[in-house]
Structure 1
Amino acid sequence: MARIASATGRYGGRSASERHAERRSRLREAGLDLFGAGPGYRNSRLVDVCKQAGLSTRQFYEEYDTLEDLLADLHLYVNDLVEQHVVEVVPQVDDRPPLERAMGLFRTYIDAVTRDPRHTRISFVEIVGVSPRLDQQRLERRARWITLIGDLLADGAARGDIEPRDFRLTAAALVGSINGLMHDWAVGWVDATIDEVTAELLRMLLGGLQISPDDATFGLGPQSSA
């Protein structure tokens, strides 16, 4: 279905761009509630989203062509938010020792992607296997994360913190592990706290980089005295 053109000009004291932004915000929030906390994408109907958002189907079609378009938009929206959090922290940990820098960035990522459980479910569960188009989108965002992680690891090698090599394989293995474990954790297949999940993924990353901190480093073992 072709998207309905939205009206231009001011209406009710708001510009067309302001009305567009409000509609999209309300539809995103409705999608997060239904796909990420309610029945899920596959069990939601367009009328359910419109009712949740307090908008008409016509107003929906002014923003999206299909319900899948809303899910695709939410997937990119959540990924962009998480990436922004990570990128903003990079300069804040730039002068820290390599272990602290790696752990700081990794924990920032996990905190950002799990802060809102709806975001976790959208990122790791609802987006999987919907259509070839969304599978491609998911792979493209995965490649973007692999590139970002690879660049950060290469920067660490340039500093002399770790041995230089082609870090793409390391980054791909880490991203694959994150996606798999976070999916299983989000659907309840893994009985663990998010701190335990984070620690396990950190061990995997640091092991690949041949850095071997003890469990106390992750807050899971005996705590050192102040």
Structure 2
Amino acid sequence: MTDAVMELWSGARAARDPAWVRRQLLEAGRTLFAMYGYAHTGVEDLCAAAHVEVWEFKREFESREALLVDLYDEVATRGMRASETELSAEGIETCPTEERVNRLFDAYVKAVTKDPRDARVAFVEVLGVSREMEEHLTMWRSVWVEFLTQEAERARLRGHGVDNNLAVVVKVLTRSVDELLAHHGRRPRQVPPEWLTSEFTRLSMAMIGPAGVGPAEPADSSV
């Protein structure tokens, strides 16, 4: 290859759109982390799969872990937005509590398990990576604790016997959701999303408790 051709090739690589490079690397991470595991995937592996150079990786990400964090954030944000969107859906404010809980979890589960690789990366490969990663996961759990606490408070107002210590109830539920999704992500044949939704709803209603302690459910939930 002549010097002129080499110069053109180097210029073409330098001109590559950083957004494209980033997308390529994220997609490579999604695939390789899910297939081989985070611990067994190096920067060179990611670059080879993404068809980019190592220097391009270093331009976009501080480390391999930074790429993993971005992948996790994509999944977590998608799940949260799906649940928040469902809160604005028709009939959500008037339906019985169990139906409401089922709908919120159904939206979340469909969003985070649509791509089997996402479920594996976000709920299995992020575990035990580092103290910094655990702190990041804890931050996200606090977001979900706040969201679910609001739902538990709402259930209490509708007459459900929610335990006085909502913080404990919600933290247990949040951990249970994480553990079941990790179980889902680890299985060669992942359990159906419908089963996850059903199980999350069952756990939630068991923790929320039966109605009849405070203000009752609306007599006609269709209004």
TM-score, with length taken from structure 1: 0.78
Alignment check: 8 A CA contact 1:98 1:161 kept: no
Q: Aligned ranges for residues 112-131 of structure 1 at < 5 Å?
A: 112-131=111-130
Q: CA deviation at 1:205?
A: 0.8
Separation of aligned partners in 1, 2:153 and 2:46: 44
State the AA in 2 paired with 1:29.
E
Q: Aligned ranges for residues 52-201 of structure 1 at < 5 Å?
A: 52-92=49-89, 93-158=92-157, 160-163=158-161, 165-188=164-187, 192-201=191-200
Separation of aligned partners in 1, 2:121 and 2:93: 31
Alignment check: 8 A CA contact 1:146 1:172 kept: yes
Separation of aligned partners in 1, 2:150 and 2:72: 23
Separation of aligned partners in 2, 1:42 and 1:90: 38
State the AA in 2 paired with 1:34.
L
Q: CA deviation at 1:98?
A: 2.0
Q: CA deviation at 1:182?
A: 1.9
TM-score, with length taken from structure 2: 0.79
Q: CA deviation at 1:199?
A: 2.1
Structure 1, gaps ≥5 residues long: 1-10, 213-226
Q: State the secondary structure of the residue aligned to 1:128.
A: coil
Residue in 1 that maps onto 2:207? 208
Q: CA deviation at 1:166?
A: 4.3
Alignment check: 8 A CA contact 1:150 1:168 kept: yes
Residue in 2 that maps onto 1:50? 47
State the AA in 2 paired with 1:68.
E
Separation of aligned partners in 2, 1:56 and 1:161: 59
Separation of aligned partners in 1, 2:65 and 2:190: 31
What is the number of residues matched between the two proteins? 196
Q: CA deviation at 1:156?
A: 3.5
Identify, as 1 or 2, the structure richer in helix: 2
Alignment check: 8 A CA contact 2:47 2:53 kept: yes
Q: Are positions 1:26 and 2:61 aligned together?
A: no
User: Kindly, what percent of the aligned residue pairs are identical?
Assistant: 25
* Structure with more contact order per residue of length (Cα contacts < 8 Å, sep ≥ 6): 2
Separation of aligned partners in 2, 1:129 and 1:162: 37
CA shift in 2, pair 1:43/1:191, >3 Å: closer
CA shift in 2, pair 1:25/1:83, >3 Å: same
CA shift in 2, pair 1:189/1:57, >3 Å: closer
